[in-house]
Amino acid sequence: MPLARRTLLIAPLATLSPAWATTELQWVAGDLPPFAWDAPGGGRGFAHDLALAMAERLGRKGSVVYVPWARAVRMAQQGPGYGVFPLARTPDREAAFQWLVPLMTVRYGLYTLATESRLSLPELRPMRVGVLRGSPIVANLRGDGFTQIVEGKDYRDLLRLLRNRTLDVIYAGTPMLEAAMDQYDHARMLFALQATLGEATLYMAASLSLDAQEAQRWVSAYRQLEKEGAVSRLRRRYIR
């Protein structure tokens, strides 16, 4: 999917006092392949590796702390000084974060087991649908008339629930769920994408409390890597 061609923006910080703003960013993330996941040999993923490359460009020792996704979002929203990825830029989140770097635009899909026949949206609506805890895309489901919504802590959990038929459907970003199938040893042929519902652009974002100059340093590091082709190379490594 194409990289989002949006302007790299820093949310206005005029209302922040110097005493509140923090000066150095700490990245947090959840297990969301292909963008980030905590593997046995250390973290991996497009956004994970990009964060480390940006840190290296800034002359820093890069690190990413992995926690459950809903906690990662909460940490970055409440601060101080956290960066988080990959975060969907949605209207309800617009004023709650600094939006540093766009990663890509993703479609959201409804997946069943491949043993199910082809299903339409009206046929899917009464079913038990799993969604990642803390994800704003639950609003897409409710807005389209879905009522039986179950939250899972991560994609591994959601795939397990679907395989044992505790769920009927998973609703998730298509590249994330399909990468999770690979990562957690579920053959893609076991699942069927029945329909898509909405899309969003994923970002590397930061707490509002992060100092504006610090935020700009990370944006500048990204721009340098993008100009050199490093961002495209990392994307091709992880996203098919």
What are the structural domains, with CATH classification, of the chain? 26-105+201-238 (3.40.190.10), 106-200 (3.40.190.10)
- Helices (H), ranges, 144-211: 155-163, 174-183
Question: How far is 97 from 12, CA to CA, in rounded Å?
Answer: 10
- Span 123-137, average pLDDT: 94
- Which is higher by pLDDT, 11 or 214? 214
Which residues are 108's β-sheet partners?
Answer: 173
Residue by residue, DSSP assigns 95-126 as GGSEEEEEEEEEEEEEEEETTSPP--HHHHTT
Percent of the chain exceeding pLDDT 70 equals 91
Structure tokens at 238: 């992880």
- Which is higher by pLDDT, 196 or 15? 196
- Which is higher by pLDDT, 198 or 134? 198
DSSP H helix total and E strand total for the chain? 8, 10
pTM to 2 decimal places: 0.82
Give pLDDT tens digits for 13-68. 333 334 444 578 999 999 999 999 998 889 999 999 999 999 999 999 889 999 99
pLDDT computed for residue 7 by the predictor: 37
Question: How far is 86 from 104, CA to CA, in rounded Å?
Answer: 9
Residue whose C-alpha is closest to residue 228's, from 9, 27, 57: 57
pLDDT computed for residue 115 by the predictor: 83
